[in-house]
Amino acid sequence: MTGRAKTVGQVIAVSAVVGLLVLLGWKLAFGNGGGASAELAGGGSPVAPDFTLPRIDPEGGDLAFSSLKGKAVVVNFWASWCIPCKDEAPELQKTYEKYRDQGLVVLGVDAKDFRQDGQRFIKRFGITYPVVGDGKGSTLGKWGVKGFPETFFVDREGRLVGTVVEGGVDLERNREQFAEGIRLALGDSK
Amino acid sequence: MSRIVIVVSALVLATSAVAAGPPVQADLEAEIVCPTCKTTLDQSNAPIAVRMKTYIRARIAAGDSAAEIKSQLVDQFGPGVLAEPPKRGFDLLAWLLPLGAVAVGAVVVGALAVTWSKRRDTGADGSADDLDPDLARRLDEELDRFED
C-alpha cells in the first residue's frame, strides 16, 4: 500500500472512532437513561422534568409544568386506548376533588394518543383536572415512563417523591403506594 | 398528427389520474409506524395501531390524499411515525449518510485496487525486472522441459 493510501485509510478509521465517541458522549450527556423514575427508584429525589404542552381539556391553552410549583402534583400518564386508564379515571377525579383545597393538583398527560380521543375520554369520565396532550410522547423518556398508566408524585418544591405507581391507582396492590405518594407530595408528616 | 397528439395527451392524463388515485390502506399501513411498538402498522395489533388503521380508513373514505393523511399523523404523533424519514432538514442525513458511506467505501476499494494492481505489475517485492539472469535461464529451461 502506498503511503498516501495508508494515510487516507488511517484518517477514515480515526474519523470513524472519533464519530462514535462523539455519539457516545452525546448519548451520555443528553440521553434519558432511565429518566427521573430511575433516579427516584435509586433513592434520589430528582426535580420533576419540566415541560410545556397544550391542554386538551376544555380550558385550552398551554400548561408549563413549572407553573405548578408550590402545589403538590399527582402526574398521571395515560392514553385513551389503555384499558386500565379507563378503570382508574374515576379514582383520580375523586382524588382531585378530595385534595384540591389542600393545594393538590392532578395533572393528566395523555400521551401517544389522538387529541380527539383524549378529549372524548375527558368528557366521558367527567374529568375536571388539567390534562395536557403529548401525542409525540416527548415527556416519557425524561420522566422514565415505561407504560400506561403510570402515576408520579411531586412535592411543593417540585421534586419527585414516593414511588411511581405502575398500573391503575384503583388496583388493590397500588392503593397503599398511591395514598403514600399523595401524603408525601402534600408534605404531610403524619 | 393532431390525432397522435390527442392520443398521447389522453394517455398522459390517464396515467396521471391513476398515479393520483385514492391512497391504498395497505400501502399507508406499511409506511406508518406504530408509536408504541415501533413496527409498521401492518405488523402490529397494538391498541394504538388498530386505532390508527381505523383513522386511516376514515380519512381515505373522506377523500384525503396519502400525503394529507401522513401529515395529519405526523402532526399528532411526530415525524417518528413515518417509516421513511422525510427527505428534508436534519432527517435528510438519514438518506445522505448511507450514500456517503457507500461513496467513501467505493473510493477506498478503488484506491486499494489501484495500489494492489501497481504492486502486481512491479512484482511482490518490486523486483520483477531484476530477476537474477542465472535463475531466469534455469526457469526457462524448466518451463521448456515441462512443455515437452
- The 10s digit of each residue's pLDDT in A135-172 is 999 999 999 999 999 999 999 999 999 999 999 999 99
B108 and A CB contact within 8 Å: yes
Residues B107 and B80 in one domain: no
Q: Which domain holds residue B113?
A: 91-147
Q: Collect the ranges in chain B with pLDDT lower than 70.
A: 1-20, 86, 88, 121-130
Cell numbers for B120:
502486481
Which one of B38, B67, B84 terminates a domain? B84
Question: For residue A103, with 0-12 CB atoms within 10 Å meaning exposed, 13-18 middle and 19 or more buried, which class applies?
Answer: middle
Residues B80 and B97 in one domain: no
pLDDT of residue A21: 87
Q: How many domains does chain B have?
A: 2
Residues B117 and B46 in one domain: no
Tell me the nearest-neighbour CA distance from A167 into chain B, angstroms.
Answer: 17
In this structure, the strands spanning A72-78 and A150-154 are: antiparallel
Which of B31, B137, B49 minimizes the C-alpha distance to B86?
A: B31
Q: Are A49 and A142 in contact (CB under 8 A)?
A: yes
Q: What is the pTM of this model?
A: 0.72
pLDDT tens per residue, range A174-185: 999 999 999 999
Which one of B84, B103, B137 terminates a domain? B84
Which one of B84, B100, B128 terminates a domain? B84
Residues B78 and B97 in one domain: no
Cell numbers for B93:
442525513
Tell me the nearest-neighbour CA distance from A123 into chain B, angstroms.
Answer: 19
Which of A142, A87, A90 minimizes the C-alpha distance to A111?
A: A142
Interface contacts (A, B; CB < 8 Å): 37
Residues B11 and B67 in one domain: yes
Indicate yes or no: CB of A81 within 8 angstroms of CB of B48: yes
Residues B35 and B77 in one domain: yes
Residues B55 and B76 in one domain: yes
Smallest Cβ–Cβ distance between B104 and the set A12, A117, A137 belongs to A12
pLDDT of residue B148: 72
pLDDT of residue B130: 66
Tell me the nearest-neighbour CA distance from A140 into chain B, angstroms.
Answer: 11
Residues B143 and B78 in one domain: no
B55 and A CB contact within 8 Å: yes
Tell me the nearest-neighbour CA distance from A150 into chain B, angstroms.
Answer: 15
Residue A137: list chain B partners with CB under 8 A: 35, 77-78
Residues B16 and B78 in one domain: yes
Which residue of A56, A81, A145 to mutate against B (max B Cβ within 10 Å)?
A: A81
Residues B65 and B26 in one domain: yes
Q: Are A151 and A181 in contact (CB under 8 A)?
A: yes
Residues B10 and B72 in one domain: yes
How high is the ipTM of this complex?
0.79
Residue A115: list chain B partners with CB under 8 A: 76
CB neighbour burial string for A25-36, b if at least 16 within 10 angstroms, e if fewer = eeeeeeeeeebb
Per-residue pLDDT of chain A (190 residues; tens, 9 = 90+): 567 777 877 887 888 888 888 888 776 665 556 899 999 999 999 999 999 999 999 999 999 999 999 999 999 999 999 999 999 999 999 999 999 999 999 999 999 999 999 999 999 999 999 999 999 999 999 999 999 999 999 999 999 999 999 999 999 999 999 999 999 999 975 5
pLDDT of residue B17: 46
B100 and A CB contact within 8 Å: no
Cell numbers for B46:
397494538
Residues B30 and B76 in one domain: yes
CATH of residue B18's domain is: 1.10.8.640
